[in-house]
A = this chain, B = another copy of it.
Amino acid sequence: MSRPVFIVSDHTGLTAENIARALLTHFPAQPLRYLRRPFTTDMAAAQSVVREAETLAARGERPLIFTTTIHPDVLNTLRTAPAQVFDLLTENLRILEQEFAEAPRLEAGGHHDMQDNEAYLSRMEALDFALATDDGVGDRQYGLSDVILVGVSRAGKTPTSLFLALQHGIRASNYPLAEDDFERDGLPAPLQAHRDKLFGLTIDPRRLHAIRTQRKPGSKYASIEQCEYEVRRTNTLFARLGIPSKDTTSASVEEIAAGVLALLRQSGRLEG
């Protein structure tokens, strides 16, 4: 028997689910199942959630309901369910109302929809940019980049650049370090004019070996010797030129991206 966890939102429910997961991760022994009810914008939809909760509670599965709704009708309806309701926004909204001495404008779902059109467009433009410039581009594209991710093949450049674009509207291009670069030593020519935009990704050679082996088993490319060589040269390059870098071996794209954002903020290229 698992506990039903309702995610009820007047929009996509991503924020409510993130909070629910952030909380429930601290109870790893609890068997849970998620029941997502996005776009719950009126009382009828809320009543349907309540009926589901009643059915579940009747057979001993008392639900948890996490909601980011701010509609009083929807919230009051949800509160009639035989469930523990987590109202994630309205209490804090009241505190902000006092803090600002101003009533909130109560249209729904403003944070994830097209109201913030400019920010959204910049995310989509950054995504186009990341896709167009994936793995090696010319000087013009490097000039337009907010950051240039530098690292060996399969060190995490592409997922990171896509994440930076989709989540943060950051234009990230890539420079894949390869044999030629290691033979020449020094900063690769295409990067020389953009040194302040470089962010290095490094990785444990054994992890790199495992990743590459999945793609091209038995190849020189995937061999532990080649991986060790490339990583050693990469780390030397980053150290000698003072390129800020992050070890991606056990880092998620969120964590790598956080490192990039911190660098952009430190250097004043990003607010906050």
Contacts and interface: CB of A to CB of B under 8 A. Distances in A.
Given A95-B84, A99-B64, A261-B36, A105 B26 contact: yes
Contacts of A18: 14-15, 18, 111
Given A34-B271, A127-B159, 15 more contacts: A12-B254, A14-B254, A19-B89, A26-B107, A26-B110, A27-B96, A34-B272, A36-B261, A36-B265, A64-B96, A64-B99, A84-B95, A84-B99, A124-B253, A163-B166
A114 B22 CA distance: 13
A34 B168 CA distance: 13
Contact of A255 (B96, B113, B134, B166): B113
Interface in A68-125: 68, 70, 84, 86, 88-89, 92-93, 95-96, 99-100, 102, 104-107, 110-116, 120, 124
A127 B162 contact: yes
A203 interface: no
A169 to B, nearest CB: 12
A64 to B, nearest CB: 7
A252 B15 contact: no
Prevailing SS type, chain A contact patch:
mixed
A126 to B, nearest CB: 10
B23 A96 contact: yes
Interface in A42-62: none
29 contacts: A11-B254, A11-B255, A12-B254, A14-B254, A15-B19, A18-B18, A19-B88, A19-B92, A22-B89, A22-B111, A23-B93, A25-B115, A26-B93, A26-B96, A26-B105, A26-B110, A27-B96, A27-B100, A29-B102, A30-B102, A34-B271, A35-B272, A38-B258, A112-B255, A113-B255, A114-B250, A114-B251, A124-B159, A166-B166
A272 B36 contact: yes
Contacts of A110: 22, 25-26
